[in-house]
């Protein structure tokens, strides 16, 4: 087999593990290796490659090495739990973004975070022993015998049709596909972070296990830096900011259903108005479809059979109806309302649609996970020969919108799910290839996310990176050749025949509510001036004349569509200035006798101590330019 290395060299070998291949090149290289990539897929260094291809060795500090480290740390956690709580049974223990977790059934023991110190101490003791981590391939019968006392592992084993592997470290063995480190001695800098409840395999009907979250790094400095970031994230929690700034609330009368307070509603509406404006500029028409539609429609769309457990239903006139969890079926009906020609394409139809999805109560989390949200949807109808061009245009639109908020992103191509999907595999393969080619043609790198496509088609997922280095799933482009078939959508082609259009589902914010939550945490509540509900607060020093002058200025600001208000509370100026800073208002303007006399304003920017005095007209020009350009705050 031939392998192309990162430096461009080609080597040939057969029957060697990844480690042995590395050793044949350089023994010193092999000592630093923790795994390898073959054609972009991560493998344990103990595995013999099944085919040739592009081979990249993974070393400590490489992005993929942290997945291997954290996965190994989850097993170290499980081994420590095994020692301290012998009756505990283990479910899943994967690596996740920035860490790991393990789902554990502690039986009659109620674990709390106070136990973390003892667990970490035992983890450190095991790590210091330096025991090796070994990998074994076993038969299903052998695996069932090894884990016969653990119903969770037995259930997993019974569902495995491919090769079964286990990993051992001392007296602990776990069912796992890997990859893992060579020894526990590499696991030195870790921290257990939190506890949560988690239903086995995410099913509310299954037992609830205890999920322990943690994180692990190769150096103490990395760990300390990460823990500092986590502390900063707590301060930026959008639920905390939303309460402090009086933006939104939740009620026990509607768990998962957000209430928008006046300031928050203003912020949300401005984000939606921006969305409408930029889409109309890019050739979209905008529609609105009903929130509730009949069961028959959801049967045609496939949602009734593939998504019913997440839908709210009701009976009207002895017929079953469902509140929409997605906007797509309504968009199909709008398309069918008119006869279309090839000349109509691309037909770009946008909708800010309110959708409802029944999320498990334990999964609800502020604006990040709600049961009703506004999806910034669009359905774009095109011919097959227009796919690449239209996806390229969409990628430009995504760039344009995300850059306004200073957000970086990467793209993941999510392919056909293994089980729940509709349509022929040939159509899926064609669709996946079309999305990949569009990315390549537009110069966009992407990674493959196998099996994570929607049930009706593959998609490009846009993962945003915020100021705290967190990754958020927001935008998506989904190529759908299935729903046009199911809804019998057609257009008249050049020769007068009826043809089937291709459809792109597309969202950029994903959820307006969730996107606002992300922005609140990204900017620590200090959203850009154009989006902030109060852009200017005027603070008269003391006299009635100053108060009346401030009121007049508010009227002038309104003429320029600048949102201003006067703080007339009987409090000292210093107190009101500090409060304006707490409220994160972009501009605080002090009104004294000199400002009235000279027609000037003395302003202070949020998070700045300097006070600047400028003519009123100059200030108007400055803030208007900032608002109109949608600039980020200084």
Q: Say if residue 541 is in the same domain as residue 473.
A: no
Angstrom distances, CA of residue 391 to CA of 206, 315, 504, 594: 41, 40, 9, 57
* 355 three-class SS: strand
379 is catalytic: yes
**457-491 tens-digit pLDDT:** 899 999 998 888 888 889 999 988 788 989 999 99
Predicted confidence (pLDDT) at residue 362 exceeds the cutoff of 80: no
Question: How many C-alpha atoms does 251 have within 13 Å on its Cβ side?
Answer: 5
Q: What is the DSSP string of 23-86?
A: HHH-HHHHHHEEEEEETTEEE-TTSPPSS-EEEEEEETTSHHHHHHHHHHHHHHHHHHHHHH-T
439 is catalytic: no
**3-21 tens-digit pLDDT:** 999 888 888 888 899 999 9
Q: Say if residue 456 is in the same domain as residue 560.
A: no
Q: What range defines the domain where residue 616 resides?
A: 536-628
As a whole number, mean pLDDT of residues 402-407 equals 94
**202 assigned to some structural domain:** yes
**Local confidence band at 40 (pLDDT 50, 70, 90 cut-offs):** confident
What percentage of the chain has pLDDT greater than the value 70?
Answer: 100
Q: Say if residue 41 is in the same domain as residue 77.
A: no
Q: Say if residue 473 is in the same domain as residue 351.
A: yes
Q: How far apart are CA 261 and CA 265, in angstroms?
A: 6
**Nearest Cα residue to 70 out of 43, 93, 47:** 93
**308 assigned to some structural domain:** no
459 is catalytic: yes
Among the listed residues 379, 514, 563, 576, the single catalytic one is 379
Residues 176 and 75: beta-carbon distance below 8 Å:
yes
Among the listed residues 79, 89, 169, 375, the single catalytic one is 375
Among the listed residues 238, 357, 369, 584, the single catalytic one is 357
Q: How far apart are CA 98 and CA 107, in angstroms?
A: 28
**296 assigned to some structural domain:** no
Residues 504 and 379: beta-carbon distance below 8 Å:
yes
**531 assigned to some structural domain:** no
Q: What is the total residue count of the chain?
A: 634
**48-103 tens-digit pLDDT:** 998 999 999 999 999 999 999 999 999 999 999 999 999 999 999 999 989 999 99
Among the listed residues 328, 439, 546, 567, the single catalytic one is 328
pTM of the model: 0.80
Taking each helix axis as running N to C, give the angle between helix 512-522 and helix 262-281, from 0 to 180 degrees, rounded to the nearest 10: 110
Q: For position 389, which CATH number holds?
A: 3.30.930.10
Q: What is the DSSP string of 539-582?
A: EE-S-HHHHHHHHHHHHHHHHTT--EEE---SS-HHHHHHHHHH
**Local confidence band at 280 (pLDDT 50, 70, 90 cut-offs):** very high
User: Of 42, 59, 76, which residue constitutes the final position of a domain?
Assistant: 59
User: Rounded to 5 degrees, what are φ and ψ at 387?
Assistant: -55, -55
**161 assigned to some structural domain:** yes
**Local confidence band at 286 (pLDDT 50, 70, 90 cut-offs):** very high
**219-268 tens-digit pLDDT:** 999 999 999 999 988 899 999 999 999 999 999 999 999 999 999 999 99
**165 assigned to some structural domain:** yes
Among the listed residues 105, 377, 461, 466, the single catalytic one is 377
Q: Say if residue 11 is in the same domain as residue 118.
A: no
| Dihedral, CA of residue 138, residue 142, residue 147 and residue 148, to nearest 10 | 160
Q: Say if residue 223 is in the same domain as residue 348.
A: no
Among the listed residues 279, 459, 563, 576, the single catalytic one is 459
pLDDT score, position 155: 94
As a whole number, mean pLDDT of residues 374-395 equals 93
Q: Say if residue 497 is in the same domain as residue 594.
A: no
357 is catalytic: yes
Among the listed residues 369, 416, 505, 576, the single catalytic one is 505
Domain count, the chain: 4
Q: Say if residue 220 is in the same domain as residue 130.
A: yes
Q: How far apart are CA 31 and CA 92, in angstroms?
A: 30
**302 assigned to some structural domain:** no
């Amino acid at each position: 087999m031939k392998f192309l290395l990162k430096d461009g060299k080609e080597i040939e070998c057969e029957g060697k593990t990844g480690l042995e291949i590395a050793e044949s090149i350089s023994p010193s290289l092999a000592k630093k290796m923790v795994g390898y990539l073959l054609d972009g897929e991560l493998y344990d260094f103990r595995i013999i490659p099944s085919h040739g291809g592009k081979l990249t060795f993974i070393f400590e500090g490489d992005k993929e090495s942290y997945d291997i480290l954290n996965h190994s740390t989850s097993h170290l956690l499980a081994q420590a739990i095994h020692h301290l709580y012998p009756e505990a049974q283990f479910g899943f223990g994967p690596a996740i973004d920035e860490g790991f977790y393990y789902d554990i059934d502690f039986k009659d023991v109620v674990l709390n975070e106070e136990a973390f110190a003892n667990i970490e101490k035992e983890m450190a003791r095991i790590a210091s022993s330096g025991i090796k981590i070994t990998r074994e391939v076993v038969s299903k019968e052998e695996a069932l015998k090894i884990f016969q006392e653990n119903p969770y592992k037995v259930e997993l084993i019974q569902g495995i049709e491919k090769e079964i592997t286990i990993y051992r470290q001392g007296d602990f063995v776990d069912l796992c596909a890997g990859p893992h480190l060579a020894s526990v001695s590499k696991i030195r800098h870790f921290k257990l972070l939190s506890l949560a409840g988690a239903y086995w395999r995410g099913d509310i009907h299954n037992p609830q296990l205890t999920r322990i979250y943690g994180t692990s790094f190769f150096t103490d400095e990395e760990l300390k830096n990460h823990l500092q970031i986590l502390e900063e994230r707590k301060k930026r929690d959008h639920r905390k900011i939303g309460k402090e700034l009086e933006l939104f609330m939740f009620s026990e009368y509607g768990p998962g259903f957000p209430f928008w307070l006046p300031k928050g509603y203003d912020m949300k509406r401005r984000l939606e108005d921006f969305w409408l404006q930029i889409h109309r500029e890019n050739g979209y028409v905008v529609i609105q479809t009903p929130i509730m539609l009949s069961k028959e429609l959801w049967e045609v769309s496939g949602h009734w059979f593939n998504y019913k457990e997440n839908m709210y239903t009701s009976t009207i006139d002895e017929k079953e109806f469902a509140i929409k969890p997605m906007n797509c079926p309504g968009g199909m009906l709008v398309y069918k309302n008119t006869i279309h020609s090839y000349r109509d394409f691309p037909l770009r139809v946008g909708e800010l649609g309110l959708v409802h999805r029944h999320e498990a109560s334990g999964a609800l989390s502020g604006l990040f996970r709600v049961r009703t949200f506004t999806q910034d949807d669009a359905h774009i109808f095109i011919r097959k020969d227009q796919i690449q061009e239209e996806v390229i245009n969409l990628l430009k639109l995504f760039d344009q919108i995300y850059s306004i908020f200073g957000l970086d992103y990467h793209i993941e191509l999510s392919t056909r799910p293994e089980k729940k999907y509709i349509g022929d595999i040939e159509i899926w393969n064609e669709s996946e290839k079309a999305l990949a080619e569009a990315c390549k043609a537009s110069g966009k790198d992407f990674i493959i996310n196998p099996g994570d496509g929607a049930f009706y088609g593959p998609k490009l997922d846009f993962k945003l990176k915020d100021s705290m280095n967190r990754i958020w799933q927001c935008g998506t482009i989904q190529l759908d050749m299935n729903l046009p078939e199911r809804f019998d959508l057609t257009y008249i082609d050049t020769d007068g025949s009826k043809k089937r259009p291709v459809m792109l589902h597309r969202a950029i914010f994903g959820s307006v509510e969730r996107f606002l939550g992300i922005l609140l945490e990204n900017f620590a509540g200090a959203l850009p001036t154009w989006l902030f509900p109060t852009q200017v607060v005027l603070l008269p020093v003391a006299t009635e004349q100053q108060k009346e002058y401030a009121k007049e200025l508010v009227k002038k600001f309104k003429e320029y569509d600048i949102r201003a208000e006067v703080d007339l509370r009987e409090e000292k100026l210093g107190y009101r200035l500090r409060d304006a800073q707490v409220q994160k208002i972009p501009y605080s303007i002090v009104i004294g006798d000199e400002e009235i006399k000279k027609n000037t304003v003395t302003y202070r920017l949020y998070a700045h101590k300097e006070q600047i005095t400028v003519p009123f007209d100059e200030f108007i020009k400055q803030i208007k330019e900032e608002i109109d350009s949608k600039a980020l705050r200084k």
